Amino acid sequence: MNPYNYLYVAGLLFTIGAIGVVIRRNAIVVFMCVELMLNAANLTLVTFARINGTLDGQVVAFFTMVVAACEVVVGLAIIVTIYRSRRSASVDDASLLKR
């Protein structure tokens, strides 16, 4: 199978994630879209590793996953805290810094 097809999938996933981040308001969905973009990036890393016949890309993909897991922990904690104090998970409501 042509390994470039994986790259097309990754590009599609990244695009879906990016559009989701921009157009959705719900913080959880935005968060999931960000994860989708990260995974798209992971997929390209692994694909390039395969194409080049080296392990570097796969190693970096593991690092990305670890960092993404940490980020999920912190990010979800922030979203939950915001939800508790404001009874809303909309990212547009959290726009206090401009004032």
Partner 1 sequence: MVTSTSLVYLIALPLFGAAILLLAGRRSDKWGHLLATALSAGSFGVGLYQLSQMLSRPTAERAITQKLFSWIAVGTFKVDAGLLLDQLSICFVLLITGVGTLIHIYSISYMSHDENRRRFFAYLNLFIAAMLLLVLGNSYLNLYVGWEGVGLASYLLIGFWNQKPAYATASKKAFVMNRVGDMGLSFAIMISFATLGTVSFAGVQAASHTASKAALTAIGIMLLVAATGKSAQFPLQAWLGDAMAGPTPVSALIHAATMVTAGVYLIVRSNFIFDAAPTAQLLVVIVGAITLMFGALVGTAKDDIKKALAASTMSQIGYMILGAGLGPAGYAFAIMHLLTHGFFKAGMFLGAGSVMHGMNDQVDMRRYGALRKFMPITFATFGLGYLAIIGVPPFAGFYSKDAIIETAFNAGGVKGILLGSTALLGAAITAFYMTRVMVLTFTSKERWEDDQHPHESPLLMWIPMAILAIGSVTTGFLFTRGHALVHWLTPVVGERAEGGKVLLQPAVVSGLALVAVIIGVAIAVSKYQLGKVDSVAPQNVSVFTRIARKDLMQDSFNEAVFMKPGQALTALLVKGDDKVIDGAVRGIAATALGTGSTLRRTQTGFARSYAAFILIGAIVLIAAIWVVTQ
Interacting residues toward partner 1 by CB under 8 A:
18, 21-23, 25, 30, 91-92, 94-99
Handedness of CA 45, 46, 50, 54 (dihedral sign): positive
Which one, 1 or 96, has the nearer CB to partner 1? 96
Least distance to partner 1 from the beta carbon of 97, Å? 6
Least distance to partner 1 from the beta carbon of 8, Å? 16
Which one, 21 or 58, has the nearer CB to partner 1? 21
Burial 26-47 (b: 16+ CB within 10 A, else e): ebeebbebbebbbbbbbbbbbb
